[in-house]
Amino acid sequence: MRAKFFICILTSPIIFLFGCGSNPPAPQPSATASTQAVQKEPVLYTAKQCFTSMVGLAQRWTPDALPFHMESELTSEATGQGGKATIWRAIFASQSRATMESFICSGSRLPSSPALGFTSTAESAYPPNVPAMLFHPSYFQTDSDKVFDLSLEHGGTAFMKKDPRQPIVYLLDWDPKTRQLLWSIIYGKSQADRQGLCVINATTGGFIRAGK
């Protein structure tokens, strides 16, 4: 009886340990899975964040490349709030080659959007009016987030109150007549259906005009 008693005492802890080990802990989310979730988020850029790299890429294409137009693109990921977009496009031209090329900066994750990073289109001949619209990159001083804030002071706030997700498009162009680099901030999906417009000097940040 004593021998049986001691055997029971000795074997009981072993049974208990095996019983506790029969239910393994629940798996924890891996660091890799968390990283992948973060990587799927779109990246929003101001115009200048993209423009600086675009200038470098254009000058690799041809050293005399100069920009003559830049614009933001609306997506479901970003509607232009805060002067930011997931896609920016800029067109550069080379007078020595009489050609132009578009460069695209994309932080979009949408399947229908340009690939993430920087891409370019095929080189093509430019229209006759392009040389007069070329500007030196150093004229671009006032970024899109700054002009967004300025546009709010000149009528934009009213549109934002009506629709907090108000679509806003940004156009950057050289005006040959006044010899100024201008921002056109369009409250609407395009020039054709705009509800409001604000024009700001992209070099000085000075307000030019606002209206429909």
List the domain boundaries for the chain. 2-39, 47-211
Cα dihedral 60/65/70/76 (nearest 10): -20
What pLDDT, in 10s, does the model give residues 18-55? Answer: 344 445 454 555 544 444 445 589 999 999 999 999 99
What pLDDT, in 10s, does the model give residues 146-163? Answer: 999 999 999 999 999 999
| Residue 34: exposure state from Cβ atoms within 10 A (0-12, 13-18, ≥19) | exposed
Q: What is the mean pLDDT of residues 109-129?
A: 96
Looking at residue 32, its pLDDT comes to 47
- Residue 141 above 80 pLDDT? yes
